[in-house]
């Protein structure tokens, strides 16, 4: 296992982190508790020292299972990360309440790395109104948290605003070879790193889509270079090649996945990704992007929509199933997590978006397709 200094904290974290949001299941949504504990401990035994969980993962079970896994001496071997559920906070007192319950769930006296979860413009605004900085300072002074950060799901300008708003220790962003310009993206990664923040990478395989249902033409490209052991190996090493990256979270649910990812991490060095491998990744990205239905660049010239529709987000729900050949996970996300007032069915066909779109996308027809495929 390789380790890197984590921003200005001075702590060395394993370059592979264990994300406890995709633990093995018995059936449906029921987590296989014994196997999950065994897997987490296996990863720690192999050298993983960054364990990440959160309040909502697995319907609230992830923190409890993680706490059990870290008994019998395992807590002392790792840095533990969990997150304040930003969307549930309705008062300053809520923050203390959630943290205290998380400490009980995790059977620990302190959290090494505590994050404000899934920050976007709405959550950021509300947390500031509820005096989140007072909460942070008092929780840290009380020894309940040691390092403070945030995870992010919005656009680059807001990311930079948040980075500058407080003396953060670290941040967590979505980044992979398909998402170099998505949300914080590569520019955000470098922006945070240059300011001394440790950077945690989530979704290195884009929810697993880079690793499964791989089209034949893309599979052939991956196999054209002997240094690329698998698409997963290439995707992870592409990220580790960036010196600003501290640790990469992987939601591993088998010992085989853990062992394979650790093997990749041994070669996940800055400067360890060759120019030929970069060329292949670029060609793979081009082939995936050729499957895009609506060529949205997320420039957001179409926004705001008079009817409240989040047009770029809806177009992503049209494009992603086409690109990755897997409708079901995107359908689940759309129907369970995407806000109803932002969905495509609210379109009144006023046409303002089409007049503003520099890509000349037929947005109205595209939104109708979103409604159809997500039904």
288 lies in some domain = no
Token pair for residue 220? 């052939």
Instruction: Report the Cα 108 to chain-centroid distance in Å.
Output: 25
Q: Are residues 188 and 234 in the same domain?
A: yes
> Do residue 232 and residue 319 come from a single domain?
no
Within 8 A by CB and 6+ apart from 101, the residues are none
Asked if 165 and 222 sit in the same domain, the reply is: yes
The answer to whether residue 287 is domain-embedded is: no
* Residue 306 included in any domain: no
Q: Are residues 244 and 317 in the same domain?
A: no
Same domain (yes/no): 228, 355: no
**One domain, residues 158 and 276:** yes
Q: For 73, list phi and psi in degrees, rounded to 5.
A: 90, -10
Task: Classify 25 as helix, strand or coil.
Answer: strand
| Residue 208 domain boundaries | 3-281
Q: Say whether both 82 and 225 belong to one domain.
A: yes
- Residue at which a domain ends, from 281, 301, 334: 281
DSSP-derived pairing of the beta strands 12-14 and 3-5:
antiparallel
Structure tokens at 371: 């409604």
Q: 277 and 315: one domain?
A: no
Same domain, 35 and 178: yes
Is 126 a member of any domain? yes
Q: Does one domain contain both 111 and 215?
A: yes
**Are 207 and 235 in contact, with CB atoms under 8 Å apart?**
no
Tally of domains within the chain: 2
pLDDT in tens, the chain (375 residues): 999 999 999 999 999 999 999 999 998 889 999 999 999 999 999 999 999 999 999 999 999 999 999 999 999 999 999 999 999 999 999 999 999 999 999 999 999 999 999 999 999 999 999 999 999 999 999 999 999 999 999 899 999 999 999 999 999 999 999 999 989 999 999 999 999 999 999 999 988 888 888 889 999 999 999 889 999 999 999 999 999 999 999 999 999 999 999 999 999 999 999 999 999 999 999 999 999 999 887 788 899 999 999 999 999 999 999 988 889 989 999 999 899 999 999 999 999 999 999 889 999 999 999 999 999
Report how far residue 254's alpha carbon sits from residue 24's, in angstroms, rounded to the nearest whole number: 7
Contacts of 165 (CB under 8 A, 6+ apart): none
Spatial separation of the C-alpha atoms in residues 226 and 16, rounded to whole Å:
23
- CA–CA distance, 204 with 235 (Å, rounded to integer): 7
The reported pTM is 0.89
User: Is residue 64 in a domain?
Assistant: yes
Q: At 274, which CATH number?
A: 3.20.20.100
Domain boundary among 281, 298, 333: 281
Q: How far apart are CA 223 and CA 220, in angstroms?
A: 5
For residue range 28-86, what is the model confidence (pLDDT) as tens digits? 889 999 999 999 999 999 999 999 999 999 999 999 999 999 999 999 999 999 999 99
Chosen domain end from 228, 260, 281: 281
Q: Is residue 304 included in any domain, yes or no?
A: no
Q: Would residue 305 count as lying in a domain?
A: no
Chain centroid to Cα 205, Å, comes to 10
Residue 301, domain member (yes or no): no
Strands (DSSP E) contained in the chain are: 3-5, 12-14, 16-19, 25-27, 30-31, 50-52, 79-84, 111-119, 145-152, 170-174, 198-202, 247-250
- Looking only at the bridges linking them, the beta strands covering 12-14 and 198-202 are unpaired
Same domain? 356 vs 221 = no
17, 129: one domain: yes
């Amino acid at each position: 296992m390789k380790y890197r200094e984590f921003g200005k904290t001075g702590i060395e974290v394993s370059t592979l982190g264990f994300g406890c949001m995709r633990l093995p299941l018995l059936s449906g949504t029921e987590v296989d508790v014994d196997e999950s504990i065994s897997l987490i401990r296996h990863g720690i035994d192999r050298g993983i020292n960054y364990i990440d969980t959160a309040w909502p993962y697995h319907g609230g079970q992830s923190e409890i299972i993680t706490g059990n896994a870290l008994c019998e001496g395992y807590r002392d071997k790792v840095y533990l990360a969990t997150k304040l559920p930003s969307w549930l906070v309705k008062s300053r007192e809520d923050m203390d309440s959630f943290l205290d319950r998380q400490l009980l769930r995790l059977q620990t006296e302190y959290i090494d790395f505590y994050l404000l979860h899934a920050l976007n413009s709405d959550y950021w605004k509300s947390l500031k109104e509820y005096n989140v900085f007072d909460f942070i300072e008092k929780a840290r002074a009380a020894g309940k948290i040691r390092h403070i950060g945030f995870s992010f799901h919005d656009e680059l300008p807001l990311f930079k605003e948040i980075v500058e708003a407080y003396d953060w220790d670290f941040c967590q962003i979505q980044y992979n070879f398909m998402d170099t310009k998505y949300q914080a993206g590569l520019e955000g990664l470098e922006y945070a790193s240059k300011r001394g923040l440790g950077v945690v990478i989530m979704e290195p395989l884009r929810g697993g889509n880079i690793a499964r249902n791989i089209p034949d033409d893309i599979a052939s490209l991956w196999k054209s270079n002997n240094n690329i052991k698998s698409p997963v190996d290439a995707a992870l090493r592409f990220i580790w090649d960036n010196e600003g990256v501290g640790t990469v979270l992987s939601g591993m649910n088998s010992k085989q996945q853990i062992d394979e990812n650790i093997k990749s991490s041994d070669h996940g060095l800055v400067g360890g990704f060759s120019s030929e491998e970069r060329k292949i990744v670029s060609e793979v990205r081009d082939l995936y992007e050729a499957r895009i239905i609506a060529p949205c660049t997320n420039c957001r010239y179409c926004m705001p929509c008079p009817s409240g529709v989040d047009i770029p987000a809806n177009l992503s729900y049209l494009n992603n199933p086409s690109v990755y050949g897997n409708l079901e996970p995107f359908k689940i996300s759309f129907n369970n997590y995407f806000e109803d007032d932002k969905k495509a069915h609210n379109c009144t066909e006023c046409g303002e978006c089409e007049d503003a779109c520099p890509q000349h996308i037929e947005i109205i027809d595209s939104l109708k397709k979103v409604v159809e495929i997500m039904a």
